[in-house]
A and B are shown apart, each in its own frame.
Chain A
Amino acid sequence: MAIRVFLLLPVFLSSAIVSFSLYEDQAGLADWHQRYIGKVKHAVFHTQKTGRKRVIVSTEENVVASLDLRHGEIFWRHVLGTKDAIDGVGIALGKYVITLSSEGSTLRAWNLPDGQMVWETALHSAHHSKSLLSVPINLKVDKDYPITVFGGGYLHAVSALDGEVLWEKDFTAEGFEVQRVLQPLGSTVIYVLGFVNLSEAVVYQIDSKSGEVLAQKSMAFPGGFSGEISSVSSDKVVVLDSTKSILVTIGFLDGDISFQKTPISDLVEDSGNAEILSPLLSNMLAVKVNKRTVFVKVGGEGKLEVVDSLSDETAMSDSLAVADDQEAFASVHHEGSKIHLMVKLVNELDNVLLRETIEMDQHRGRVHKVFMNNYIRTDRSNGFRALIVMEDHSLLLLQQGAIVWSREEGLASVTDVTTAELPVEKDGVSVAKVEHTLFEWLKGHVLKLKGSLLLASPEDVVAIQELRVKSSGKNKLTRDHNGFRKLILALTRGGKLFALHTGDGRIVWSMLLKSQACERPNGISLYQWQVPHHHAMDKNPSVLVVGRCGSDSSAPGVLSFVDVYTGKEITSSDIGHSVVQVLPLPFTDSTEQRLHLIADTVGHVHLYPKTSEALSIFQREFQNIYWYTVEADDGIIRGHVMKSSCSGETADEYCFTTRELWTVVFPSESEKIISTLTRKSNEVVHTQAKVNTDQDLLYKYVSKNLLFVATVSPKGAGEIGSVTPEESSLVVYLIDTITGRILHRLSHQGCQGPVHAVFSENWVVYHYFNLRAHKYEVTVVEIYDQSRAENKNVWKLILGKHNLTAPITSYSRPEVFTKSQSYFFAQSVKTIAVTSTAKGITSKQLLIGTIGDQILALDKRFVDPRRTLNPSQAEKEEGIIPLTDSLPIIPQSYVTHSHRVEGLRGIVTAPSKLESTTHVFAYGVDLFYTRLAPSKTYDSLTDDFSYALLLITIVVLVAAIYITWALSEKKELSEKWR
């Protein structure tokens, strides 16, 4: 039966060009959108007595945002460009948010209430340097105090009103590095402190009105500085010497430089190397020595004395002026599952203004940053709130001993995504009653009917929305028949694994990656480890999380096996070797654990799981395991094969050596690899052949061992605009990864990258820039198998004279031919994906993540090389679209409809159980999920289906039958009487 349905499908599918489209009241039914900002770097509070209380933050994802301090919602935010990292934020004139970005070369002002950009100023910059922003705090709005900015070797004074550069001063002298720019409160003199070659301290005094140098003093320091610096007051800084064992207080009162050396060993006994911590405390500094945080008070004459010491796991805020010229700071430390927040006065550390203990989720890790803000309580005492950034990048606001709100900002930096099934509904667990009575059921459907007939009032529409969400039962934590409810597992850069429910995007569980070898492993990738569906049904499915201790690729790896249902870590191991590549093998053991090979930097591969059963399976397939590596910098692609067990020092039977089988070397003077891509290993292909209009068969060349490689000439590897059409060309290759044979080569003259490609079944679609037309282009390449072309004759098939059963070998040259076609595309692209369905029958759609952070669904039929200008009648019937020079952008086919997935980085698709439907998950700074039916839901009734209309029809029909029956009986009776 199912087969018959599938045979009928093509008829359905070719009937019309179906594009993804949505009615406005359907938005949010199957999709959700979550907005994030990323790990917070800087925070500035804006808590005036009147108006909304907000906090302005800048993050590592280059986001500047204004958050509601009461609920943590985003008032507004802006995602700056990827190269536009934010160096500092401030609030000027009480109404503008000032951001300094791009290494101190771009200064922008944003309107505080609505986030509209007010002005933008490009500042001179000559070389890399520290970038420092200081926004004067003034309460008088009418008077314009200039903002002082140091960046790129120049000191600028910029008017806060319109961004005009009032003056600039060149500090680009050779070897001179500006460390601090200080302006004592109320003074017109700006002190610029810098080091020359880290051995001489120089102080400039600059008039803040004109930018003239009033005085310049310098003094050599024989020991040399290490560059770590902490300013403790407006005329003193403390710096470490080059041995990191002596603290040097540099005083520059009235321009006279004085040094005062204090060895750390005088302060702390048997101390090692010290490290100055970043918090700015007045007349005090925090130093990390011997894994302890030591507070050192700086006396009037630069005398240092230790006043307190805390455990290492302490995070501190900058100090903040509270009433009566006193300064306070907040510190947070851990104790078991609790965190302690303390606010102390800087001058009297014994005077604890606030001591709060808060229960904290273990999976948030340590506190990384603390930002403190004070407010006046009704009894005129000081109240404090603290914004803390945790190790998993989450952002929490603490106030009055409780977490007021929290934001899971780790999800703004997702690195890898996979999906997992939910548990099956157990017997005895009753299904939640959704519709209570027949009356309510009917009422609901009458409402729906009203909605679809456009007779519904606004209240009705709201009721319909609610009803739909409720009735769909989409938020349950069990598997459903259609496979619509799933878990999305997302691994973040902070090393946290999140499980999100596809129904509403809520976090079902989350887990922080742990390791014995290092403090915090970075998350790299996720793999399906165990998916029981035939055997081991009692086991829960699990995923493999691969992490790494440190950012270097040679750093030791960490493996963690996580139970998908519970979110608990089953085991974790520090594997002791590096992780370069993880290869999931197509074999599973008796408990359905998938075999994985992990390649390290020394050229060995390691087999996981480390069981004898896995080893025996692997030994059997030893000769058939191939893989490849891409060395993009050198332009080399290598194919590898297994050689033997590792010998020598570590007799590990799960370790194997490899042998190089082939290499493809691209000439480095003319070609540079910019993109490589293979098919998804779990993709399902339903039809092996394609029927042409002239009843000709084309066999798809469906091989999992095809690699798409794009190269450009080295000159064209830069940005658009940096190269002329004559200088750049783009070449794409299709390479067999078993033999290293180049199956196809296509060259585009006058084109350049970046190349975004998608590879599915037997086709590749890639997007690049055409310099001659100065437009983006999309090219499709389809690859067909020539060797099976003779199998068209039915008689041959019946009589067995076909070569379908002939073994496919990589030793013989495959006879393939390709078809390709190019089109213009009107937008830059960030990423391309393709829909995937359970059996691969449903036609495919390309999901194009555009530069505007939207996702466009484009039917594969628009990128079909068989398109011609005037398709014949037969071709039209087959659904071939007349050729146009550019691909259409239909606004209704944006799957993100009115949302933007800010900072879009990737799109992941996963099949649902229903053949017509696919899950789409897009991640960037934001997250977006939706369900797509590329050929409409031909195998199920849509949500729109009006049961009420069906019911009414049935009732009417039954009534009609009875009426006619009564009539006919009456007539029969009268006839009998006649």
Chain B
Amino acid sequence: MAQIIRSSPVLAFIGLQICFIFFASTLTCTSGSEDSYTITGRVKIPPSNVIGHTAKFSNVKVILNGGDKITFLRPDGYFTFHKVPAGTHLIEVSAMGYFFSPVRVDVSARHRGKVQATLTETRRSLTEMVLEPLKEEQYYEIREPFNVMNIVKSPMGLMVGFMVVVVFLMPKLMENIDPEEMKQAQEEMRRQGVPSLTSLLPSAGASR
């Protein structure tokens, strides 16, 4: 980015214009020598309603360019990267329980290290370098509360249900059958020697 500007005076002029427009909302203060700048920003973690998710700044790391530099947060949530060369950089925030979008940071060599930041996930550009989590991360599955339907839907629940149906509905069905037909069928069964329920059980057989 910086190189493009340097090579083309027209673009440089536009860049200058943009710089003036955004001057009011300058992101960072810069210092240092000609080619190394400072990126300052702030991590803001909203108070969480999940218990045990209290935002602990001491466990938050801010990472520049995939591990080139790592810094930590001050008690007020501010962080600073010193001695950053001009160019396009990537800042990531690692905090347990939160997902932060990586931030594309353009440090302009021409405008005394003016910094422009864009969230790479949502492509939203930041007017202030305040990094907020995109979403909270819950690492555990939440157990579903006790529910009768869950029990019924489980294989064993279905088995029990089927048994209940057989035990209580079958006699009802039997009753609905015409007694004449019933008797006929029973006789037929006896003739064929089909074992009844009683003869199936060993004790029943012994009692006979």
A interface residues (Cβ-Cβ under 8 A, vs B): 21-24, 27, 76, 78, 80-84, 105-106, 108, 111, 114-120, 122, 453-455, 719-724, 754, 769, 771, 773-776, 826-828, 830, 851-853, 889, 891-892, 894, 897-898, 900, 949-950, 953, 956-957, 960-961, 963-965, 968-969, 972
B180 at the interface (CB under 8 A from A): no
Q: How far is the CA of A481 from the CA of B84 in the complex (A)?
A: 56
B141 at the interface (CB under 8 A from A): yes
* Further contacts, 20 of them, CB under 8 A, given A116-B58, A957-B159: A23-B143, A81-B67, A83-B68, A108-B72, A117-B73, A120-B71, A720-B66, A720-B68, A774-B104, A828-B67, A828-B90, A852-B95, A889-B99, A891-B138, A892-B140, A956-B163, A965-B197, A969-B204, A972-B196, A972-B198
Q: Which residue of B lies closest to A891 (CB)?
A: B137
B201 to A724, Cβ gap below 8 A?
Answer: no
Query: How many residue-residue contacts, CB under 8 A, span A and B?
Result: 161
Residues of A within 8 A of B101 (CB): 826
A24 to B94, Cβ gap below 8 A?
Answer: no
Return the 8 tightest CB-CB contacts between A and B, nearest first. A122-B82, A852-B94, A891-B137, A81-B70, A828-B66, A721-B89, A721-B87, A24-B140
Q: How far is the CA of A83 from the CA of B138 in the complex (A)?
A: 32
A81 to B197, Cβ gap below 8 A?
Answer: no
Q: How far is the CA of A891 from the CA of B100 in the complex (A)?
A: 12
A21 to B141, Cβ gap below 8 A?
Answer: yes
B interface residues (Cβ-Cβ under 8 A, vs A): 1, 3-4, 38, 57-58, 61, 63, 65-75, 80, 82-85, 87-90, 92, 94-97, 99, 101-102, 104, 118, 120-121, 137-146, 151, 154, 156, 159-160, 163, 167, 196-198, 201, 204
Residues of B within 8 A of A968 (CB): 196-198
A892 to B63, Cβ gap below 8 A?
Answer: no
Residues of A within 8 A of B121 (CB): 826
Q: Which residue of B lies closest to A122 (CB)?
A: B82
Residues of A within 8 A of B138 (CB): 891-892
B160 to A956, Cβ gap below 8 A?
Answer: yes
Complex A-B: 30 CB contacts under 8 Å: A22-B141, A23-B140, A23-B141, A27-B140, A84-B69, A114-B58, A117-B73, A118-B74, A118-B75, A120-B74, A122-B82, A453-B146, A454-B144, A454-B146, A719-B65, A720-B68, A720-B90, A723-B87, A724-B4, A826-B101, A826-B121, A828-B90, A830-B67, A853-B94, A892-B141, A953-B156, A953-B160, A957-B159, A963-B167, A965-B197
Q: How far is the CA of A111 from the CA of B99 in the complex (A)?
A: 26
Q: How far is the CA of A889 from the CA of B95 in the complex (A)?
A: 15
B198 to A720, Cβ gap below 8 A?
Answer: no
Q: Which residue of B lies closest to A826 (CB)?
A: B121
Instruction: Give the residue among A27, A720, A724, A892 with the most B Cβ atoms within 10 A.
Output: A720
Known: A24-B140, A851-B67, A897-B140. A117 touches B88 (CB 8 A): no
Residues of B within 8 A of A950 (CB): 156
A960 to B163, Cβ gap below 8 A?
Answer: yes
Residues of A within 8 A of B154 (CB): 949
Known: A117-B73, A965-B198. A851 touches B94 (CB 8 A): yes
Q: How far is the CA of A24 from the CA of B50 in the complex (A)?
A: 14
B140 to A22, Cβ gap below 8 A?
Answer: yes
B141 to A81, Cβ gap below 8 A?
Answer: no
Known: A774-B104, A828-B66. A949 touches B156 (CB 8 A): yes
Chain B interface helix/strand/loop/mixed: mixed
Residues of B within 8 A of A852 (CB): 61, 92, 94-96
Selected from A82, A775, A900, A953, the residue in CB contact (under 8 A) with B67 is A82
Q: Which residue of A lies closest to B118 (CB)?
A: A774
Min CB distance A768 to B, Å, is 11
A769 to B197, Cβ gap below 8 A?
Answer: no
Q: How far is the CA of A122 from the CA of B94 in the complex (A)?
A: 22
Residues of B within 8 A of A891 (CB): 99, 137-139
Residues of A within 8 A of B99 (CB): 889, 891
Min CB distance A628 to B, Å, is 29
Residues of A within 8 A of B57 (CB): 116
Selected from B96, B102, B104, B142, the residue in CB contact (under 8 A) with A898 is B96
Q: How far is the CA of A78 from the CA of B141 in the complex (A)?
A: 29
Q: Which residue of B lies closest to A975 (CB)?
A: B186
Selected from A78, A455, A897, the residue in CB contact (under 8 A) with B72 is A78
B58 to A76, Cβ gap below 8 A?
Answer: yes
Residues of B within 8 A of A723 (CB): 87
Residues of B within 8 A of A721 (CB): 65, 84-85, 87-90
Min CB distance B72 to A, Å, is 4
Residues of A within 8 A of B65 (CB): 719-721
Selected from A774, A900, A972, the residue in CB contact (under 8 A) with B120 is A774
Known: A769-B66, A972-B198. A115 touches B96 (CB 8 A): no
Known: A23-B141, A720-B89, A969-B204. A81 touches B68 (CB 8 A): yes
Q: Which residue of A lies closest to B69 (CB)?
A: A81
